[in-house]
Amino acid sequence: MNRKLKATRTLLILVLLFLMLSMPLSFVNATDTDIGEQTTTQSVSSTPDLLTTYSGKLGIVDTGQMPLSVQATIDRFAQTNWNAGDIDVTEPVVLPPDYMYQGEYGDVLYSSECDNFDGWEFENPGFSGEKPITEIHWAYQAPITVDNSRYKCASIPTSTSYLHGPLMTHAVPLGAGVTLQDGLDLTVKFQQQYVYGHMSDVGVVIYDSNLEIMFKAWVHDAWYGSRTDVYAGYYPIGTGSYYQKVQKSSSWNGDVRIWYDRDTDRIKADILGTQVTLLQNPSDAELARNAWDIGVYFARNKDWHYDSKYLDSIDLTVAITPDRSWPARPQSPALDGHWFPQTSYSRLYFKVNQPYADSKFRIWMVIEADQDPIERYLTVRVDGSQIYHERIHPNTGFNDYMEVYGSGVKKIELQINYGGYKDKGWKLKYFYPERTNGEPLEIIGEYFPETSSPELTYHARMGMETKLNIKVENDQDTNQRSFYVYVDGQYKGTGSIPGSHEFSLGDYTHDSLHEISLVMSGSTTQWGKIVSIKRVHHWTAGVEIDYMSGHSPSQADLDQLEAYYITLGPHRVEFELDDLIPYQTYFDPATNGYPNQDYWDLSNSYRDHNEAKWEWANWVHYLRWDGSDE
């Protein structure tokens, strides 16, 4: 069974590190000198979660689940091999279209009508997780098939085992970040067609990250009479179970639902309309269990006569939380301002990924007049279809969102009529798509405009050791091209298209605004070349990391940390893996948890960067203190 670490792994690393940076009693020596004063970017009045950037100490204030779009954007940056012309490793992440829409009981993590096997993996007899039945068969011995949009298993060989048959599993999307406490909710629809003198089982289980069963919904058809027993169970950590059953007879179909009710702090079940409580007040350890895999099994009882039951549908959701907030939002592709080109019909082009099955999403925009004093028409098109055409006044501009219907990859076109009247006539200050629940969506990139000399010009915040990371890919124009980088009119370098490049732009006053231009050699093809990565960032802080043997963070983790800050704003935080340090007792219970002299000696010996803009992190095995809250 394949196991993939999800976005939460990176977030946990981030949280751990910056908790360290903020705790003067920990194994990090936090200095009293801040990096600088806090500043914020332009805000949208009706969008309170617009990205705020910091030039002061950096940290994470929300430890919630990392939005998929943010993690995908970070990964695209971190995985690119800069200056290697690599255009293959960072293709946009496209998620299943039936993913995370709003269902009857909450946000849908997984939904199946049991009419295909997309994403399912058939397990073998050596399956390492907790087995829901006594013996697991190879798939070729007992194949699970689709029969009229239902799962069934027509034939299972005989065995001496009490219950034996096939098992298949499917990873839970976002599994590393979804816990029982989130209001995990499983609904399974079964169908029983009574056959005299035959018996069998069918069931669905939810595994935690240790591959131990959490939820189990199943049907047991006894050989005697027409009776079937329908079960719902919760399996706690370790051993034991809490389950209830309802007896049925003859043929029937219906739902079994198991969920954690956050309002009453109970794990409940609804078995064919009969509601029961499986467990009251589950422990914190139980509530922290991750939903990792879904399992489906069919079973025969020894060599007794067998006839398959049917599985009609599976739905796994998490409870709706109206106060949901998202801990991170990538920087707007407009940076601190993006001028419309000086052409008669001045256009900016973007590509957005809306991978969910939501019926619509929103695009927040701020457009302001700069040098043009005349009222103009703003036209917005999605995949060539006009969705907006209204006048905007230079005193008010546009500060609102537009609704876009549909899902999948969308091409967005913004147009200012008569934009050629003045150079730098209008400026896009903010552009960001989001789901209706506020979760940010991924911007795949921005296209060079369709002009004889395509140019993209921005206002960008710069400072010490400013860099530009940029990746440009082919779309409708497959010819080799070049582009040129200018800052405040001064030439900084040339890049090839397609390709990935890092440019050193120089040193500037901290957080000062400068004009950066990307000028491409001639191409008049619409949707020709797309800028899939564009980051302008300057050095703001550094973290020196010393570590005990066996506790060094990986370079991949540090790359993710750097990519996180570069993606969210112009302030770059660099992480330097430095010295291996010997084992040491860092905290003495007699000093109420404050570092003892040995700690300070260690700091003096191994801390190489003592400047105000460098923090020191010491990666250790554990901390010891006397339990005092003081």
Contact 366, 414 (CB under 8 A): no
What six digits make up the tokens of 206?
């939810």
Which pTM was predicted?
Answer: 0.54
CA distance 544 to 578: 6
CA distance 330 to 124: 42
What type of residue sits at position 464? M
Q: Is the dihedral of CA 22, 25, 30, 32 positive or negative?
A: positive
- The class of domain 107-318 in CATH terms is mainly beta
Residue 331, burial from CB neighbour count under 10 angstroms (0-12, 13-18, 19+): buried
Q: Is the dihedral of CA 359, 364, 367, 368 positive or negative?
A: positive
Residue 297, strand partner residues: 167, 203
What six digits make up the tokens of 590?
């007699």
> What Rg do the C-alpha atoms of the chain give, in angstroms?
29
Q: Look at strands 512-520 and 490-497 and give their pairing.
A: unpaired
Residue 390, burial from CB neighbour count under 10 angstroms (0-12, 13-18, 19+): exposed
pLDDT of residue 592: 55
The side-by-side arrangement of strands in the sheet containing 213-221 is: 120-122, 167-171, 293-299, 200-207, 213-221, 227-234, 242-249
Longest dimension (CA), the chain: 88
Residue 204, strand partner residues: 217, 296
pLDDT of residue 437: 77
Which whole-number Å values give the CA distances from 608 to 56, 323, 363, 597, in the listed order?
Answer: 22, 44, 46, 18
Tell which residue, 518, 556, 564, has the closest CA to residue 537: 564
Helix axes 555-568, 7-22, angle to 10 degrees: 80
pLDDT of residue 608: 83
CA distance 596 to 613: 25
CB atoms within 10 A of CB 16: 14
Contact 607, 27 (CB under 8 A): no
Tell which residue, 84, 82, 49, has the closest CA to residue 64: 49
pLDDT of residue 491: 92
Question: Looking at residue 523, what DSSP letter applies?
Answer: B
Q: Which residues of the chain have pLDDT under 70?
A: 1-66, 81-102, 173-177, 223-225, 320-329, 420, 523-524, 583-599, 612, 618-630
CA distance 206 to 172: 9
Matching residue, tokens 């010490």: 464
CA angle 284, 290, 291 (to 5 degrees): 130
For the chain, give every domain's residue range: 107-318, 338-537
Residues in the chain: 630
Query: What is the Cα 372 distance to its own chain's centre?
Result: 40
pLDDT of residue 174: 60
CB atoms within 10 A of CB 455: 17
Q: Which residues contact 584 (CB under 8 A, 6 or more apart)?
A: 598, 599, 602
CA distance 515 to 360: 35
CA distance 57 to 542: 11
Contact 524, 448 (CB under 8 A): no
CA angle 38, 70, 105 (to 5 degrees): 115
- In DSSP notation, 84-117 reads TT--STTPPP---TTSS-B-SSSEEEEEE-SS--
CA distance 6 to 109: 14
CB atoms within 10 A of CB 560: 24
The helix/strand count (H/E) of the chain reads as 5, 35
